Structure 1
């Protein structure tokens, strides 16, 4: 799928859930589960490739490289990737967005900074010069009113959708009233669990079209790995840990070995 397919989801009038993926196996599992879009986040890259907490500076080149090896396992499902680093100026933003596009990324989740005006300028340049990538603009304001004004500016600059940061789902109605017709994206943080969350129909009614789940799969995988390692250390095997059968692992991507070898050679060169 292309940016056009992702843009169609943003105006479809229903919610699409985009789980986080971080390697070909997780990408294949997400597709098999029926997901229509997936998300490659900076925190997932930091945890699984750098072994570090998310500090907001996962290199753009590393995200593009990882995206390139995920795309074949996605079978056409669009990949949305975080865009935190490499967007300091409009020219840098264009260069990095083109690198993402070459890697097969369909959409950028563009972070903003302290200067909302500069962010709006970057969005306008990206919308004009890299139309092959959909733009979702994060808005981190100083309070709700500032966040809403940033969302307004980014939508006017050409963002395909806005993602208000640190705004409760219960407050999305205010943003909907302030920006009628502007598609919204929500991010369900793993630190915010429990009741009070809106249903898919309720979110769609507020203009939310996409919900990101950046770390759910990473945390689940690390938890399972932790249990397996502990069992091996304590008992000499992992028999008591629920695991995927080896035969299922072998069929995850179901691609010929020659195709996989060609992709590895591309990465090496």
Structure 2
């Protein structure tokens, strides 16, 4: 799939969920589960490659390098990747997007900064000079009104979709949708986020959300499973009581279906 395919998802009349992946094995599992898009987050890279919390440690070069190793396991499923650091000026942002594109990344989740005007200038440069990469502009305003203004500016600068990072509730997304009719919205279901209640997929779609990111759900599940296995080995000498993927399934994990195949019919029992 190309950036055009990802853009088609953003203007579709339904929701797409993009789970987090971080290596070829997790990428292959996401494809086998039937997902049509996946997400490589800075938080996942920080945790699995650097052993650090998500504090902006993962530069664009490291994310591009990791993407290049997992893209072959995706079988054409588009990959979105975070861009959190290393793009202070418009020319830096363009370099990042082109490096991502060479690595096989279809879309970039571009973080903004304190200066919304500078962020809009980066977005305009990307839209003009790197049209082969879908641009999702993250907006972090101080309150609802500033977030709406940032999202409006970023959409006007050429972003394919806007990502109001701190808005999760219907009474926040509703005014944003009204202020930006026709602009696709992206939200994250990060495990670190808090809120009064979780909106259903139907509710999110009705509020203009077209893409939901799940950056750490699989990472945390994998680490939890690994911790249980390590504890069992330490205490009992083996991990027989731990639910695990059958060894035979591991050998077929990367025997992936074609990109045009019916995903969801060729799944691994984990």
TM > 0.5 fold call: yes
Q: Distance in 1 between matches of 2:83 and 2:13?
A: 26
The answer for the alignment partner of 1:2 in structure 2 is 2
Give runs of aligned pairs for residues 167-182 of structure 1, distance below 5 A.
167-170=167-170, 171-182=172-183
Per the TM alignment, residue 194 of structure 1 is displaced from its structure 2 partner at its CA by: 8.6
Give runs of aligned pairs for residues 99-110 of structure 1, distance below 5 A.
99-110=99-110
Per the TM alignment, residue 197 of structure 1 is displaced from its structure 2 partner at its CA by: 1.5
Deviations 1:146-172 (A, max 9, x none): 001000000000000000011123221
Equivalent residue of 1:63, what SS?
A: helix
Matched, 1:49 2:41: no
Q: Distance in 2 between matches of 1:149 and 1:175?
A: 9
TM-score normalised over the length of structure 2: 0.92
The answer for the alignment partner of 2:229 in structure 1 is 228
TM-score normalised over the length of structure 1: 0.93
The answer for the alignment partner of 2:263 in structure 1 is none
Give runs of aligned pairs for residues 104-143 of structure 1, distance below 5 A.
104-143=104-143
Gap runs ≥5 in structure 1 = 256-269
Counting matched residue pairs gives 255
Bigger mean CA offset, 27-36 vs 161-170 = 161-170
Q: Distance in 2 between matches of 1:4 and 1:166?
A: 28
Q: Distance in 2 between matches of 1:165 and 1:65?
A: 26
2:169–2:196 CA contact under 8 A, matched in 1: no
Deviations 1:221-257 (A, max 9, x none): 00000000000000000011110011111111127xx
The answer for the alignment partner of 1:267 in structure 2 is none
Give runs of aligned pairs for residues 1-269 of structure 1, distance below 5 A.
1-170=1-170, 171-192=172-193, 196-254=197-255
Over the aligned positions, Cα root-mean-square deviation in angstroms equals 1.2
The answer for the alignment partner of 1:261 in structure 2 is none
Per the TM alignment, residue 192 of structure 1 is displaced from its structure 2 partner at its CA by: 3.9
More helix by share: 1
Q: Distance in 1 between matches of 2:209 and 2:95?
A: 30
